[in-house]
Every structure is written in structure tokens, then in C-alpha cells.
Structure 1
Amino acid sequence: MQRRLAEFAAARDWGRYHTPKNLAAALSVEAGELVEIFQWLTPEESARVMERPESAQRVEDEVADVLSYLLQFCEVLGVDVLKALAAKIERNEKRFPTTGTGHSMK
């Protein structure tokens, strides 16, 4: 996917705009658009957001946008996203040992 995104951007000469700063800002904007979908929903409504085709499509589009900008950001900076995620999970496993209470990851 990273290669496909890089090729897509290169074919449109967007590389000059894909600086770490710009990609981080775009990622933040897209994450905000994802949050916006849930902004005024109750916890129960938010749990059912994928039941309605219109809201499900919006969620999927924003998730795709967030992931797209994150992958492009990693490409530009040379971050191996899966290696970084694995290392973070390992650190969190040490930081938050199993207690049986099901704490969420920070």
C-alpha cells in the first residue's frame, strides 16, 4: 500500500507537498474528520455507527484517509510502521502487565 500511495503521489507530482510537516497536519485533519462523525453521538449510538450504510461509508472513508496519510508520513521519514507498532506493543506489555482488568493501550 505504501508503494502504491507513493506511486500515486509521484504520478501527480505531489512529492514536493508531502513533507513530514504537511503530512502530519493532513493526518491530524483527517483524524479530526473521523472524530467529527462521532462528536455528538451517545456511546450506544457510536457503537452502532456501522449499522447504517451512510455513516458506515463515512467512517470507512475517514479511516482510509487517516491510514493513507499515516503510511505516506512513514514512507517520507523511512519509518517501518509495522516494526514501530510491534516495538510499541512490546513496551506497553512491559509497562502495563496483565492484571485481568483489560486496560486499554496508550
Structure 2
Amino acid sequence: MLPPADSLAVLRAAVLAFRDARDWRQFHNLKNLIVSLNLEAAELLELTQWQRDEEVEALPADPVRREALADECADVLLYLLLIAEQAKIDLLAAAQAKLVKNAAKYPVDKARGSRAKYVDLS
């Protein structure tokens, strides 16, 4: 049983231990990890293929489909943690910095209620 994943650091340690116990680090170069992340993201997307909007919105209410959604989200997160480890990126710091950048690109007074890209906000 894994320790409670109450932080990215704990989860990162668990995924690295899982990888290392299986001697998979040899396969985990940056390119392979990025490819794998995208394959897992495609599996997440596949859950919505050919679905109407209301079917996608109802997905979490179905226990079987919700578990599939959770599994694919987890796969994406785990590969992202491995990519960040390989690239020496502090994900929390990167996410906080990106929020600051996005706040500058999308000021509330211009972006509120708009789906426009930042270059199209007036």
C-alpha cells in the first residue's frame, strides 16, 4: 500500500520508487516520457469520443466510467511527475509562475466571461 498522497513530493517519491523497483528508469528518457504522457492524454480524450456534451458531463456519475476517468487522469499526472523529475522542474513553482503569467495575459476586467485568446481581448 502506498503512503497517503497528500503532496506532490510524497506522490513523486512513490512513483519513483515504483519505477526504480522495476528497473524502468532506463526507458524513461525525456522523449519517451513526453510521448507516453501524450498517449495517456489521448486515452483520457478517448473516453469522450463520439459522446454528446451531456454524455461527457454525466461521465463522473457512472461509477465504472468515473473510475476509468480517474485512472486516465492518474496516468497523466504520474507521467507529468516523471517528466518534471527528468527535467528538474519544480511543478508547484512552475504552476504558480504560470498562474502569474496567465493573470497578466487574462486580466479579469477583459477576460471575465470571455473565451477569447489573450491576443484577441480588447
- TM-score interval (norm. to shorter): over 0.9
Q: Which amino acid aligns with 1:57?
A: E
Show structure 1 runs of 4+ deviating over 2 A: 102-106
CA distance in 2, matches of 1:17, 1:64: 20
Greater Cα radius of gyration, structure 1 or 2: 2
Q: Could you tell me whether the CA contact under 8 Å between 1:49 and 1:56 is conserved in 2?
A: yes
Corresponding residue of 1:85: 95
Unaligned runs of 5+ residues in structure 2 are: 1-10
Aligned equivalent of 2:53, options 43, 59, 65: 43
Higher RCO (C-alpha 8 Å, min separation 6): 1
Deviation per CA, 1:46-86: give whole Å up to 9, x if none. Answer: 11101111111110000000000000110111110111111
> Matched residues, percent identical?
35
How far did 1:105 drift?
8.8
Aligned equivalent of 1:24, options 14, 31, 34: 34
RMSD of the TM alignment (CA)? 1.7
TM-score (normalised: structure 1): 0.93
TM-score (normalised: structure 2): 0.81
Aligned residues: 106
